[in-house]
Amino acid sequence: MVFYKWDILGTPKFVKFLNFKKMFSDPTFWSSLAHTFYFTLLTVPPLVILAFLISVLINSRRVRGKDFLRTAFYLPYTLSISVVCLTWGMIYNPHFGIFAQIFKFFGAQPINWLGDSRWAMPAIALTTIWWTIGFNIVLYLAGLQQIPPSYYEAAELDGATGFQKMFYITIPLLKRVHALVTVLQILASLQIFGQVFIMTSGGPAGKTRVLLLYIYEKGFRYFKMGYAQTMAFFLFLTMIAFAYLQIRLMMGKER
C-alpha cells in the first residue's frame, strides 16, 4: 500500500516511492513525530519510576489496607479513555477546575492548561500518567511477590538497612521487570492518540498533534489511504526495535 496513491473511491495508482518522498518533505509529519517523542519523554520515566515506588509501598510489610491501596491505584486504568479525558477536561478548566481552584486559593492567576501551547502536552501527559500507571503497578507487584522473603531475612541477619535491601536486593532482582515495563511503556506512549483527539484535537495551533492523530486525519478524514499507511508504516518501523526487545524479555530463557 505504501507504494500506491490510494483515495478510497478511486482505483489505487502505483506511485513508487512518491509517498515516502512526500512524507520526508512534509513539515507536519516531522512536527507530529517530534510531538510524539516529546510525549513519550514526558510519560515514560514517571510511569516506570512512580509505578515501582508505589508497588514497593503497597508491597511493604508495614502497610495495612493493601486491598484498598491496590484498588485505588489501579482503578483509573479501568476507566475508559473518554471518561478519563472528559473528566480531566473539567479538572483543567481555567474557571472552575480543580487546578484553577488551587491557584485561586493561593491568589495566583489560573492557567488555561489545555489552551496554552506550553502546557497542553504536559497536561495531557499528567492525565495519561494518572490513567495508566495501574497497569505497570500490577506488573511490578507480580514481580515483587516473587522475590523469596528469605533473601530479605538473610540480609537482615547481616544487619542490612532498608536502603541497602532496596538497592542490593529489590532493584537488581527486578531487572527483567524494569526492562519489560520500560519497553511496554515506550510502545504504549508512542501510540498516543485518544487523549489528544478528545482533549485538544491536536491544538492549540497544532502543538499537540501527534503522529497517530495526523495519520488518522489523513486516512479517515481526507481518505489519503496510501499516504496515511506510509506514515503508519514508519511508526511501525520505529516501534519494531522496542517490540523485539520486549519479545526477547517475555520469552525468557528456555528450560
Partner 1 sequence: MKIKTLIITIIALGLAVVYLVPVIWMGLSSFMDEKDILASRWIPSRVHLENYKIVLHRAKISRWFTNSLITASLGTLGVLGVGIFAGYSLGRMRYPGRRILFFFALSGFMIPIQGIMIPLYLMLKRFGLVNNLLGLILPAWPSSLAVFVLSQFMREIPIEFEEAARMDGASELQILFKVILPMSLPAIITVTVFHFTAIWNDFLWPLIIMTSDDMYTLPVGLVTLAGSDVNIRYGPIMAANVIASLPIIIVYVFFQRYLTRGFIMEVK
Q: How far is the CB of 100 from partner 1 (least distance, A)?
A: 8
45 or 162: whose CB is closer to partner 1? 162
Interface pick for partner 1 out of 51, 54, 125, 196 (rule CB under 8 A): 54
Interface pick for partner 1 out of 16, 25, 153, 254 (rule CB under 8 A): 254
111 or 147: whose CB is closer to partner 1? 147
Q: Using CB under 8 A, which of the segments 26-34, 116-124, 202-210, 225-233 binds partner 1?
A: 225-233
Residues in contact with partner 1, total (CB under 8 A)? 81
33 or 139: whose CB is closer to partner 1? 139
Q: What angle do CA 20, 22, 27 make, to 5 degrees?
A: 115
Residues 68-87 that bind partner 1 (CB under 8 A): 68-83, 85-87
Residues 109-168 that bind partner 1 (CB under 8 A): 130, 138-139, 141-143, 145-147
Outline where the chain has alpha helix (H): 18-24, 27-59, 66-78, 81-91, 98-105, 120-144, 149-157, 162-165, 171-173, 175-190, 194-199, 211-216, 225-251
**Residue 4, SS3 per DSSP:** strand
Q: Using CB under 8 A, which of the segments 17-25, 28-36, 112-120, 185-193 binds partner 1?
A: 185-193
26 or 50: whose CB is closer to partner 1? 50
The 10 Å Cβ neighbour count of residue 205 is 9
**Residue 158, SS3 per DSSP:** coil
Q: How far is the CB of 184 from partner 1 (least distance, A)?
A: 9
Residue 129 φ then ψ, to 5° = -60, -50
State the angle between helix axes of 120-144 and 81-91 in degrees (0 to 180), rounded to the nearest 10.
Answer: 130
225 touches partner 1 by CB under 8 A: yes
Q: Using CB under 8 A, which of the segments 18-26, 29-37, 114-122, 188-196 binds partner 1?
A: 188-196
Q: Using CB under 8 A, which of the segments 16-24, 29-37, 38-46, 173-181 binds partner 1?
A: 173-181
Residues 111 and 103: beta-carbon distance below 8 Å: yes
DSSP string, 19-40: HHHHHHT-HHHHHHHHHHHHHH
88 touches partner 1 by CB under 8 A: yes
The contact pattern for partner 1, residues 192-221, with x = CB under 8 A and - = no contact, is: -xx--xx-------------x--xx--xx-
Residues 81 and 198: beta-carbon distance below 8 Å: yes
226 Cβ partners below 8 Å, 6+ apart? 1, 2, 3, 4, 5, 6, 12, 15, 19
The 10 Å Cβ neighbour count of residue 41 is 11
169 touches partner 1 by CB under 8 A: no
243 touches partner 1 by CB under 8 A: yes
Q: How far is the CB of 206 from partner 1 (least distance, A)?
A: 19
Cα–Cα distance for residue pair 159/17, rounded to 1 Å? 66
